[in-house]
């Protein structure tokens, strides 16, 4: 996994705080929330197929964890125009194809999100969530093996 630059990490932290702020009331009211978890952007790396060598302007793919769910997320480059809320995008990653939808965070910030798990009640800590996110990204970013072909 390629290391991100300082500005990229700062952008991810701002996105996580913005997501928390936008969804705070819904998270607080939900009976399915895991109170041991917060909102965090984990395991982000440049979206495959982009060759900008750590450029701040590239899309990043990783895991967005909240007290309610774990999602794949693609963070667009700064300044990229926000699509209509709910607009869809099918993205091919090494482990398969994933359907994302556009989700605004605030007037200037947005992301593409693909929900994967909506029950995180079994996670006992942020460390468990981090391990789950790492495992998820390893699977998503590793090419699928086709076992149907004979040698």
pLDDT score recorded for residue 101? 96
- The pair of three-digit structure tokens given for residue 105, joined into one six-digit string: 């965070």
For the whole model, what pTM was predicted? 0.86
> Does 149 have pLDDT greater than 70?
no
The string of pLDDT tens digits covering residues 23-69 is 999 999 999 999 999 999 999 999 887 655 555 568 999 999 999 99
Q: What integer pLDDT is reported at residue 98 of this predicted model?
A: 95
Q: Which residues contact 37 (CB under 8 A, 6 or more apart)?
A: 65, 66, 67, 120, 123, 126, 129
- Exposed, middle or buried: residue 16 (CB in 10 Å: 0-12, 13-18, 19+)? buried
């Amino acid at each position: 996994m390629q290391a991100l630059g300082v500005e990229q990490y700062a952008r991810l932290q701002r996105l996580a705080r913005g997501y928390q702020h936008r969804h705070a009331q819904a998270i607080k009211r939900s009976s399915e929330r895991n109170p041991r978890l917060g909102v965090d952007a984990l395991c982000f790396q440049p979206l495959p197929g982009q060759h900008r060598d750590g450029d701040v302007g590239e899309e990043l793919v990783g895991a967005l964890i909240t007290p309610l769910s774990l999602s794949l997320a693609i963070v667009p480059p700064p300044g990229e125009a926000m699509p209509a809320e709910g607009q869809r995008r099918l993205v091919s990653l090494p482990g398969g194809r994933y359907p994302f939808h556009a989700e605004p965070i605030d007037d200037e910030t947005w992301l593409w999100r693909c929900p994967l798990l909506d029950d995180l009640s079994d996670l006992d800590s942020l460390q468990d969530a981090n391990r789950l996110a790492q495992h998820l990204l390893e699977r998503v970013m590793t090419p699928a093996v086709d076992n149907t072909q004979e040698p």
